[in-house]
Structure 1
């Protein structure tokens, strides 16, 4: 019931933000999501580093806004963040044997959350940008739902039991079929500019990447010994639990929109 109520309330608000919201408003939303997502990542990966986690979350989240700035800023921003993380651990290590691992995890969080989230800003700035974001969401969500129901009904062969014991090969294939169906629903409703080839290509690529993103976050949670990344989304866990597929699918969606669709 919590999952249903959250979806009924949050999904229309999110769609309204994507479709009607200005680029600055959408960027502010992405910034907030990046802060929360980073905080969840560091809470899982570095539970004993609360101060560093807060500082890294606040300083690292603006990396998601780099697409709004001139591209030459990307290198110095990344460099500064890496140096800050290194200096924080140089003078605040608790166990010298863990210092290298902790530094790597601090840096990994910056690459995983805000850098991948920044692709959504690039995508929104494309022609039909709002449609592309909605298409990506529909592909991922329909694939996720189809994978669950097909896997529950027909799942026999485990997909990757070491990482996600409940997922099956049958469910994954059903998920891809659901993603294709979702892409054609988008074409028939809000994105008629898509061609048949566009529907199939984006559904398969984004559908596969969405499933891989879900598996990757499951890997992180199992490695950290947690069930959910957080509790901020009632009935759904944390922000990263809702974003895991989007983080992997968003870069490919932008690449397709920018390099293939606009030149087709």
Structure 2
């Protein structure tokens, strides 16, 4: 786990930086689409291991449409109106509900399957799409970079603090490996990296603003 974590960071981080700072709008969106597809595939496998490939691909396609509603192939001047993703989400939910209404007799646990698909849309592409808007704010590239570093610092701090000092479980029924020490270590690492990096990458922001 230790070696794989650092190997992944050494491979993925340079790619992220290249796409973020030099890849342009199209490559940034393509990267988000890849991340969305992988995340939705993992999510559906975690909450619904019986989901077949076709159903997973259906969810990924709907999620990609929702993600694309946050943007176009152009730059900031042609970004969608903020209400655009909301209308697209309503349309996707309508299609999804219509599908389950027609196919309800062929789906053993319809309510659970529907819940997982809707939750997957709200949790992954709907939130991931905000990276597009964040990217094209003033200093948006640095904001995305800062956010990614804070997330990575929190994850790494939680991993090593939990591994070193973790004894009391946080919520063993949901995630047996998580500990209170990991929560404290992850929070501390995220705050320290966020404050230090923010002062360098976003000099106009105060510590309170960060």
What's the TM-score bracket when you normalise by the shorter of the two chains? 0.7 to 0.9
Matches of residues 6-17 of structure 1 in structure 2 within 5 Å? 6-17=8-19
Q: Within the alignment, does 1:57 sit opposite 2:60 as a pair?
A: yes
Question: What SS does the corresponding residue of 1:67 show, helix, strand or coil?
Answer: coil
Structure 2, unpaired ranges of 5+:
72-79
Question: What SS does the corresponding residue of 2:209 show, helix, strand or coil?
Answer: helix
Report the counterpart of residue 79 of structure 1 in structure 2.
90
What's the offset of the Cα at 1:169? 1.8
Report the counterpart of residue 141 of structure 2 in structure 1.
130
Match of 1:33 among 22, 32, 35: 35
Residue deviations 1:66-109 (CA, integer Å, cap 9, x gap) = 22223343343222211221232233345565222222222222
**Which protein has greater RCO, CA pairs closer than 8 Å, 6+ apart?**
1
Question: What SS does the corresponding residue of 2:34 show, helix, strand or coil?
Answer: helix
Q: RMSD value over aligned CA atoms?
A: 2.3
Report the counterpart of residue 18 of structure 1 in structure 2.
20
Q: Is the 8 A contact 2:157 2:185 kept in 1?
A: yes
What's the offset of the Cα at 1:7? 1.7
Matches of residues 201-240 of structure 1 in structure 2 within 5 Å? none
Structure 1 length normalisation: TM-score? 0.66
Structure 1, unpaired ranges of 5+:
200-264
Number of matched pairs = 199
Which structure carries more helix by proportion?
A: 1
Q: Is the 8 A contact 1:187 1:193 kept in 2?
A: no
Structure 2 length normalisation: TM-score? 0.81
